[in-house]
Amino acid sequence: MQITEVRIKLCEENHERLLAFCSVTFDHAFVIRDLKIIDGSRGLFVAMPSRKLTDRCHTCSCKNHLRARFCNNCGRRLDETRAMREAEGRAKLHADIAHPIHSHAREQIQGAIAKAYSEERERSKQPGYVCSYDDHDYDLDDVPMSYGDAVKQGPPAGYKAHPPHPAAARGAHLNGALPTEAKVKADEFGVGIV
């Protein structure tokens, strides 16, 4: 796969290590968003998009972030050492959503992003600079139609409307007309019958 586009969104200079966000497009067909460009101790570093790891409360089964000290639902105190530890002893609090499998792929991605980042920094110094990160990735003709617009437009050519249901079949299950066997099965699955 070839990297065909890298978009950069520079962060305001706030003396933090986060320099920018970026998206990477492969073969004009697959996009990975929300990569972070970080000023690391050894230079520029690209952090892959990740999600916070969670676990469940033993009392109420509510999901909680691994840094949480108390359950978000029941307020029970949580074990603060419940997070898995990495080899260096740090708690593993995030999991990558997308990441390269081997070092060659990481170097290729990181190199393309570093080049695009330096070019974007130079462009940002020009008058009238506009960030392209937030541009839509589709043409106006490809914008998905809303449900309301689809209803107004009607069915596509060659389709005909579904015929109405017979009066006897409509709502029969709401009138308590289900056989007893069906009511028992519905109760087994916790489905309420009106």
Task: Write the pLDDT tens digit of every residue in 131-173.
Answer: 877 664 544 445 555 556 666 666 666 666 667 666 654 444 4
- Is residue 128 scored above 80 in pLDDT? yes
**Which long-range contacts (C-beta less than 8 Å, at least 24 apart) are formed by 42-45?**
44/19, 44/110, 44/114, 44/117, 45/110
Site of tokens 């990495």: 86
Residues of the chain with CATH 3.30.1120.40: 1-49+98-155
Kindly give, in sequence order, each residue whose CB lies less than 8 Å from that of residue 3, ignoring residues fewer than 6 positions away.
Answer: 24, 25, 26, 108, 109, 112
Q: Return d(Cα 95, Cα 50) in angstroms, integer.
A: 5
CB 79 within 8 A of CB 58: no
Kindly give, in sequence order, each residue whose CB lies less than 8 Å from that of residue 50, ignoring residues fewer than 6 positions away.
Answer: 94, 95, 96, 97
What is the CA 184 to chain-centroid distance, rounded? 40
The larger pLDDT score, comparing residue 12 to residue 103, is at 103
∠ Cα 94 98 99 (to 5°): 95
Class level of CATH domain 1-49+98-155: alpha beta
Q: What is the average pLDDT score of the chain?
A: 77
The larger pLDDT score, comparing residue 10 to residue 183, is at 10
Residue 181's pLDDT band (cuts 50, 70, 90): low
Q: Return d(Cα 96, Cα 100) in angstroms, integer.
A: 10
- Is residue 113 scored above 90 in pLDDT? yes
Count CA atoms closer than 13 A to 178's CA, side-chain side: 15
**Which amino acid is present at 76?**
R
Residues 24-64 have pLDDT tens digits of 999 988 999 889 999 888 888 898 988 888 888 888 988 88
Q: What is the 3-state secondary structure (H, E, C) of 122-134?
A: HHHCCCCCCCCCC
Q: Is 24 exposed, middle or buried (0-12, 13-18, 19+ CB in 10 A)?
A: buried
- Report field, pTM of the whole predicted structure over 0.75: no
Q: Return d(Cα 174, Cα 194) in angstroms, integer.
A: 6
